[in-house]
């Protein structure tokens, strides 16, 4: 398999972007990625998107986006794996370039979530859960993650303060990210006195509803070198599924799909988890970040919360997590999130993270972990600076 590199990245404005449509958001991000990479054409395009049909009534995104990018005729398709759609789009592009089938491929993600009201958005998101056994009975994602949080608290003694610190830490990082939807710091008190969503999760334990797009150009190392731009290598890609319904899992405190995806990506990369220096993980809720860090083996079970409280996952800690601000502060346009995670590690590894957000010590290797639903799917990439 050929070595696959990321050589150019682009993001649209993220947030409540009332004046840009689904396709405009995509074109904003894609144009920046093409310009950043300096490529003169694409061989193919993958568009990660969870639910454009329910959010804005538009399907058939491969054709729509190729057309509006000015590239009619381009092979293009949509990739869907709920909130892991973006990460899966990267995996698809990785396979296409790695296999030798194409040389220059765009992996992108987009979601336009604010054209419908909160109830409709909640419904659209809930289609990533088990409709027959969860959603029809009233479960929503905040409810499912709240159950995971209670289980984690009961089994490992995880505290309210540990959850709060995840949000505080990610907002500290997001406050320094120019694309963040909520670029401001918050306090533990603000998290714990915010509106209750699903006990024990308050509003600031939850990632927001976001409009946004992200795109990366993936190519061979030979072409990346010729382009003369900073680039990173994707050393390994791992993906996994699990039961879509939370109740069918023997242990609600861990996310098996993340464990399997991480193991597979590390195996492909020929690395151990201890080789990884920082990570972007799928903090759709504060409890998710703790459960993922334990599931991918960064921490033993029950140890991620205390480590977070001790500052180990802060930007200047020994294992920085979500230096972008994560889904929590940067925002979570579901289909775009996985691609934006790749963009953050690209920026950090190539020394292009903005100002104080840049991790010190020139890290060489990082991980992205993207997840669908309550862990029904996950995709992990291991990335190394060239």
Residues classed as catalytic: 83, 332
Taking CB under 8 A as the rule, does residue 222 contact another protein? no
Taking CB under 8 A as the rule, does residue 16 contact another protein? yes
378 close to 371: Cβ distance less than 8 angstroms: yes
Query: What's the closest the beta carbon of residue 196 comes to another protein, in angstroms?
Result: 7
Q: Is 223 exposed, middle or buried (0-12, 13-18, 19+ CB in 10 A)?
A: middle
Instruction: Name 274's Cβ contacts closer than 8 Å, sequence gap at least 6.
Output: none
Measured between alpha carbons, how far is 253 from 129 in angstroms, rounded to an integer?
Answer: 17
Query: What's the closest the beta carbon of residue 214 comes to another protein, in angstroms?
Result: 23
Query: What's the closest the beta carbon of residue 142 comes to another protein, in angstroms?
Result: 14
Please provide residue 220's backbone torsions phi and psi, each rounded to the nearest 5 degrees: -80, 160
Q: Is 155 exposed, middle or buried (0-12, 13-18, 19+ CB in 10 A)?
A: middle
Taking CB under 8 A as the rule, does residue 114 contact another protein? yes
Among 40, 41, 73, 117, binds another protein (CB under 8 A): 117
Taking CB under 8 A as the rule, does residue 195 contact another protein? yes
75 close to 44: Cβ distance less than 8 angstroms: yes
266 close to 39: Cβ distance less than 8 angstroms: no
Taking CB under 8 A as the rule, does residue 189 contact another protein? no
Taking CB under 8 A as the rule, does residue 57 contact another protein? no
Taking CB under 8 A as the rule, does residue 184 contact another protein? no
Taking CB under 8 A as the rule, does residue 18 contact another protein? yes
The residues that bridge with 83 in the sheet, in sequence order, are 81
Candidate ranges 76-84, 113-121, 264-272, 352-360; the one touching another protein (CB under 8 A): 113-121
Query: What's the closest the beta carbon of residue 111 comes to another protein, in angstroms?
Result: 16
Candidate ranges 26-34, 96-104, 110-118, 344-352; the one touching another protein (CB under 8 A): 110-118
Candidate ranges 54-62, 114-122, 357-365, 377-385; the one touching another protein (CB under 8 A): 114-122
Number of residues that bind another protein (CB under 8 A): 8
Taking CB under 8 A as the rule, does residue 196 contact another protein? yes
CA distances from residue 32 to 10, 11, 213 in whole angstroms, order as listed: 5, 7, 11
How many alpha carbons fall within 13 Å on the CB side of residue 157?
2
Residue ranges that bind another protein, judged by CB under 8 A: 16, 18-19, 114, 117-118, 195-196
């Amino acid at each position: 398999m050929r070595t696959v590199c990321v050589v150019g990245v682009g993001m649209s404005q993220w947030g409540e972007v009332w004046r840009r449509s689904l396709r405009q958001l995509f074109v904003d991000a894609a144009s920046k990625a093409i310009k950043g990479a300096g490529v003169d054409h694409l061989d193919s395009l993958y568009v990660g998107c969870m639910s454009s049909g329910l959010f804005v009534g538009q399907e058939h995104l491969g054709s729509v986006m190729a057309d509006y990018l000015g590239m009619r005729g381009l092979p293009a398709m949509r990739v869907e794996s709920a909130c892991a759609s973006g990460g899966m789009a990267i995996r698809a592009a990785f396979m296409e370039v790695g296999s030798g089938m194409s040389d220059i491929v765009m992996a992108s993600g987009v979601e336009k979530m604010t054209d419908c009201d909160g109830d409709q958005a909640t419904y659209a998101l809930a289609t990533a859960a088990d409709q027959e056994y969860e959603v029809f009975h009233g479960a929503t994602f905040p409810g499912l993650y709240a159950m995971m949080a209670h289980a984690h608290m009961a089994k490992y003694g995880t505290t309210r303060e540990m959850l709060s610190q995840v949000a505080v830490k990610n907002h500290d990082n997001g406050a320094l990210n120019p694309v963040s939807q909520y670029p401001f710091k918050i306090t533990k008190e603000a998290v714990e006195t915010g509106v209750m969503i699903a006990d024990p999760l308050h509003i600031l334990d939850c990632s927001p509803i976001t409009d946004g797009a992200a795109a990366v150009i993936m190519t061979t190392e030979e072409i990346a070198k010729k382009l003369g731009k900073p680039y990173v290598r994707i050393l390994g890609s791992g993906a996994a599924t699990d039961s879509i319904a939370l109740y069918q899992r023997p242990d609600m405190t861990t996310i098996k799909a993340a464990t399997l995806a991480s193991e597979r990506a590390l195996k492909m990369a020929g690395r151990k988890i201890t080789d990884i220096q920082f990570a972007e993980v799928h903090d759709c809720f504060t409890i998710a970040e703790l459960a993922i860090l334990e599931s991918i083996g960064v921490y033993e079970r029950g140890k991620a919360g205390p480590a977070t409280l001790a500052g180990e996952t802060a930007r200047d800690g020994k294992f920085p997590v979500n230096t972008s601000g994560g889904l929590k502060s940067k925002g979570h346009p579901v289909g775009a999130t996985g691609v934006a995670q790749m963009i953050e590690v690209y920026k950090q590894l190539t020394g292009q993270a903005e100002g104080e957000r840049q991790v010190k010590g020139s890290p060489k290797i990082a991980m992205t972990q993207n997840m669908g639903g309550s862990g029904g799917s996950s995709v992990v990439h291991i990335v190394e600076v060239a």
